[in-house]
Amino acid sequence: MPLAVVTGANRGLGLETSRVLVARGWRVILAARREAEGRRAAARLAGGPGEATAWALDVGDPASVAAFAERARTERLSIDALVENAGVYLSRADAAAFRESLAVNVLGPIALLDGVAPLLARGAQVVMVSSGMGQLSGLPTELRRKVEAIRDRDGLRALAAELEAGAGSSGGGAYLAYSASKAMLNAATRFLAGELAPRGIHLNAVCPGWVRTEMGGAGAPRSVEEGARGIVWAATLPPDGPSGGFFRDGRPVAW
């Protein structure tokens, strides 16, 4: 039975992605910041051909990420798909909001990937759930230049520190905190895919579109089922599938 880890899996896109994988016979670990909510979500998926269990994980907390990775190593997991879905969109634009947006949307997912990378099976799939708001065309010119220049973790962390220190000075408010973090996640997708390629592991970023979730709001045009479809596609790619790309509904989109 293949194994998937899905973050932010207690609701919305994460829960729907987990539901589809369980229905296809996967074992899914639903990683959720509130473990009780994760357990309730996993119970809703019981009875399918696959299995669902819940583990605690706050991707914005380095200690929580480290504990999750240590538990995964202790249990000797062999992970066939890692879906990094957890994310935040905050209405504030202060330094704390920038710090949390960057921690949850980009730095935490990379730390989690680094922590469990040795446990990824050969040919595994890694999916970074991104957003169209992270496309470079939507960023201020100078910020776009800096994101395009990211080549490694050091460059990513340096830009994160700069954005946090200058929170609000470039305008854009909460929108900028979210879009910058997702653009940086997209930039990381490219260099991380190169690192994992020798093991036959694919890593791609996916934009689910504007979806009717707690984050997207009731007025969003896409259903959760529609949004999750592209995530599941990327999590179940064949061995000759793409890597290092940015996709929506299984089709490439502009960075």
Q: What are the catalytic residues?
A: 178
Distance (Å, whole) CA 80 – CA 208:
21
CB of 201 within 8 A of CB of 126?
yes
Q: Which of 118, 67, 110, 103 is nearest to 180 (CA)?
A: 103
Cα 68 from chain centroid (whole Å): 16
Other Cβ atoms less than 10 A from the Cβ of 247: the count is 19
Q: Is 129 helix (H, G, I), strand (E, B) or coil?
A: strand
Chain length of the chain:
255
